Chains A and B, each alone.
Chain A
Amino acid sequence: MLEIHDLHVAVGDKEILKGVSLTLKQGEVHALMGPNGSGKSTLSYAIMGHPKYTVTKGSISLDGKNVLEMPVNERAKAGLFLSFQYPSEIAGVGLASFLRTAYNERTGSKIGPMEFMKTLYEKMALLKMDKDFAKRNVNVGFSGGEKKRNEILQMAVLSPKYTILDETDSGLDVDSLKIVSEGVNALSGPNMGVLIITHYQRILNYIAPDFVHVLVNGKIVKSGGKELALHIEQHGYDKVV
């Protein structure tokens, strides 16, 4: 269980999140919706531990362990995964060797390149990615859609317990969105909890959420089922608040 309790987060002197509480269980899909500037991405960065985001109050725990005390890499090893809105480019580093190291860190194993390629190609097929992709440098020269697909590929390889999809739908055309969503659906199951962070309802047509939360001005102002997302789609955020 990923438990976020009364979380306050500041960037510099500015408080962005003003007491957010949310509980994500393995097997559940939650959607966090909100207008621009509501603090959606701040929540995802704070959970993963970006050094610019300071938690001033509240707690995050993962299966009972205090996440806030863990360095970023320990959070990843414990089973947290963040699909970035803007993934970094790592020049000169091949995707396959990068992912193999990440895999070995996450699982504590020492799997060799040959054996790893089998796993990697399997997951790539699932996301309809060409094998050549594995040879490319991490995110270098990738299109927006390729970057997002690559994030989901990493999720597939690392099999996290809890995944945060930060605006994964932004910048994706319909076909890519479909492939990415199908990938998430195929991979999520009783062992993975998913938190979808999005501005629009669109992605929720493909990945059905169990719960929808609306974040406005650093606070969750409303929670409900799938129908809440449709309601927002029809009436806008203003009417919901």
Chain B
Amino acid sequence: MEPSEVVAEYKYGFFDPEKFSFKTEKGLTEETIRQISHIKKEPDWMLDLRLKAFKIYKEKSMPKWGADLSSIDFENIYYYGKPEGEQAQSWDDVPKDIRNTFDRLGIPEAEKKFLAGVGAQYESEVVYHKLREDLEKKGVVFLDMDGGLREYPEIVKKWFTKIIPIHDNKFAALNTAVWSGGSFIYVPPGVKVDLPLQAYFRINAKNIGQFERTLIIADKGSYIHYVEGCTAPVYSTDSLHSAVVELVALEDATIRYTTIQNWSSNVYNLVTKRAHAYARSRVEWIDGNLGSKITMKYPAVFLMGEGAHGEVISVAFAGKGQHQDAGAKILHLAPNTTSQITSKSVSKDGGKTTYRGLLYVQKGCRNVKSRVSCDALILDKNSSSDTVPYMDVKENDVSIGHEASVGRVSEEQLFYLMSRGFSEEMAIALIVRGFMEPFVRELPMEYAIELNRLIELSMEGSVG
């Protein structure tokens, strides 16, 4: 077998029988949107917002830059699918097939060991949701977005689409029109959530679109770490995942948002993520992209208040048939703000990675400090990597550092490791692991172990 024919094992590619209690027709019309809103018993203002977004979605053209999206067949997608059963607070109440799936993904076990709360979304709806009781008592809110809209309409109304406006881009408009599921989190002033909250997104059916919507508000001086993971079965037809995530870090708050994206190789992953960071707050996107056919995602931090800090640490791994077009956006909109972007990408077996970044400093924002570093590792001749770092700095009194590197595994490094008994495959895997270490060390230990294992799996069959 040729090395390029070897496809690394994807252990999450299994699927359950499709059991929907309701599914819209294929394709997207105003009627589809009315159905979604109706089944969710939403207030009129949300339906109006959805319809307005749909109009903008239709008017907006596809992005003229970035990855090639021309083969997405928007007519061949189910935009909403409600799995059987109702949202449960106990895994015992989750339908058996779905429960088994999340068991295989290790979610209930992780919840017991090291998480403060879990939300599990299956197709379009969150099927399980639970927050540790003591946090509930402290006033922490962790619901699915639909629950958030029902129980905290005022907060939702205040922030929904305020961080990412409907017209921001075509896919943000699409998400606003058909959104379902996702997380709604509110952390009261001064409350530190000691363990991560995790959401897990699972697509099971063929040709389904998943459009979750997440809003996290960290009130003054609070701390929250949110972790999301995602997988799907491998199908010969494509699926679409297009999420919108809005974060608000009020004064002195910290939000850390960790993503381990491991979609199967038939999923288009087109996600808009943005945070508003107020004075002295801190927002960190820890963004890992391992899976999907195409990803376009550039987590953003708007530094709105003095002393705010924004950070994006990302890795992208592109294998056969994959294009990871990922990066970061930092906008310095207040003086004395700081930021750091660290991007690492690995491409192999014909995969392609693109780092696309924007660093903006508004005029008058003095004493801004920023550091951007992006490194790419290309493992074979068929693979490639691009770097597109935009900088738009309107103020002189700033300190900005930028470094970029593109490299291959050197013959000398390989020889050195092999002279110590490592096989060629082990040696390359070790080098890749070391290359990604600045990202991995940011993860909670359990995820770090999992990620290292995933990297090793992805590296199998690297050597012909």
Contacts and interface: CB of A to CB of B under 8 A. Distances in A.
Interface of B: 410-413, 415-424, 426, 430-431, 433-438
28 contacts: A48-B419, A49-B419, A51-B415, A52-B411, A71-B418, A71-B423, A72-B418, A73-B418, A73-B421, A73-B423, A76-B419, A76-B421, A77-B421, A84-B416, A84-B419, A87-B416, A88-B416, A90-B413, A90-B431, A91-B434, A92-B435, A92-B437, A93-B433, A102-B420, A102-B421, A105-B421, A106-B420, A106-B421
Given A101-B426, A101-B430, A90 B417 contact: yes
Given A88-B413, A90-B430, A92-B438, 18 more contacts: A49-B415, A49-B419, A50-B415, A71-B418, A72-B418, A75-B419, A76-B421, A81-B419, A82-B419, A88-B412, A91-B435, A92-B434, A93-B431, A93-B437, A102-B420, A102-B422, A105-B420, A105-B422
A228 B438 CA distance: 52
A46 B426 CA distance: 22
Contacts of B431: 90, 93
A91 B434 CA distance: 6
Contacts of B413: 88, 90
Of B430, B434, B436, B437, chain A has the most CB atoms within 10 Å of the CB of B434
A55 interface: no
Interface of A: 48-52, 71-73, 75-77, 81-82, 84, 87-88, 90-93, 98, 101-102, 105-106, 137, 154, 158
B434 A158 contact: no
Contact of A92 (B410, B417, B419, B433): B433
A131 B289 CA distance: 36
Contacts of A87: 416
A154 B420 contact: yes
Contact of A91 (B412, B418, B420, B437): B437
Given A73-B418, A158-B420, A90 B411 contact: no
Contacts of A101: 421-422, 426, 430
A180 B418 CA distance: 23
Given A91-B434, A92-B434, A92-B436, A158 B421 contact: yes
A72 B410 CA distance: 15
A91 B421 CA distance: 18
- For the complex of A and B, 10 pairs with smallest distance between CB atoms: A92-B437, A92-B434, A105-B421, A72-B418, A93-B434, A88-B416, A102-B420, A76-B421, A73-B418, A88-B413
Given A76-B420, A101-B422, A102-B422, A93 B415 contact: no
A90 B435 CA distance: 9
Of A77, A81, A91, A154, chain B has the most CB atoms within 10 Å of the CB of A91
A88 to B, nearest CB: 4
Nearest to A91: B434
A75 B415 CA distance: 12
A154 B419 CA distance: 11
A131 B424 CA distance: 30
Nearest to B422: A73
A77 B438 CA distance: 31
Given A51-B411, A88-B410, A76 B434 contact: no
Nearest to B437: A92
A52 to B, nearest CB: 7
A146 to B, nearest CB: 16
Contacts of B421: 73, 76-77, 101-102, 105-106, 158
A15 B416 CA distance: 23
A82 B412 CA distance: 13
B411 A98 contact: no
Of A50, A72, A87, A105, chain B has the most CB atoms within 10 Å of the CB of A72
Nearest to A87: B416
A93 to B, nearest CB: 4
A106 B422 CA distance: 9
A125 B426 CA distance: 29
Of B410, B413, B418, B420, chain A has the most CB atoms within 10 Å of the CB of B420
Contacts of A72: 415, 418-419
A49 B412 CA distance: 12
A90 B415 contact: no
Nearest to A137: B434
A97 B434 CA distance: 11
Contacts of A102: 420-422
Given A51-B411, A52-B411, A88-B410, A98 B418 contact: no
Given A51-B411, A88-B410, A88-B412, A93 B430 contact: yes
A102 B426 CA distance: 10
A52 B412 CA distance: 10
A82 to B, nearest CB: 5
Contacts of A92: 433-438
Contacts of B433: 92-93
